[in-house]
Amino acid sequence: MSFSQWPVTEELKEYIINSFNIIKKSNYNYKQKSAALTQLLSLGTGAGWRPRAITIGALKLFVANNFKKSKGLERAHVFHRRDTIKILIEKNWEKDEWWQ
């Protein structure tokens, strides 16, 4: 089994949740928290969080740019990662509610 096929076990989920809470409550500045959360959430990538599809918008942008990668095209993300990280950092979450 390769790293990219690891299942999201309860143990891994608990580790990510606990680590998230430590980062969130830390005295790190926003940029440091963002970098730490990006690294932490990358653990989920190794646990099988994989792209499922390409959005119509991404496909249209790709076609409009003669099938070359263009600015604004973000691989494997429906929502920009920076927007997701910002919400994770700024919102006050109940326990592990953010996991959903």
Collapsing DSSP to helix, strand or coil, 69 comes out as: coil
Position 82 scores a pLDDT of: 83
Among residues 37, 55, 43, the alpha carbon closest in space to that of 12 is found at 43
What predicted TM-score, i.e. pTM, was given to this entire model? 0.59
Q: At a CB cut-off of 8 Å and minimum separation 6, what does 81 contact?
A: 38, 74
Per-residue pLDDT of the chain (100 residues; tens, 9 = 90+): 444 455 667 888 888 888 988 999 999 999 999 999 988 887 766 555 555 677 788 788 878 888 877 776 666 656 677 888 898 889 887 777 777 7
Position 1 scores a pLDDT of: 41
Q: How far is CA 24 from the centre of its chain?
A: 15
CA dihedral 13→79→25→10, nearest 10 degrees, is 0
- Separate counts of helices (H) and strands (E) for the chain: 4, 0
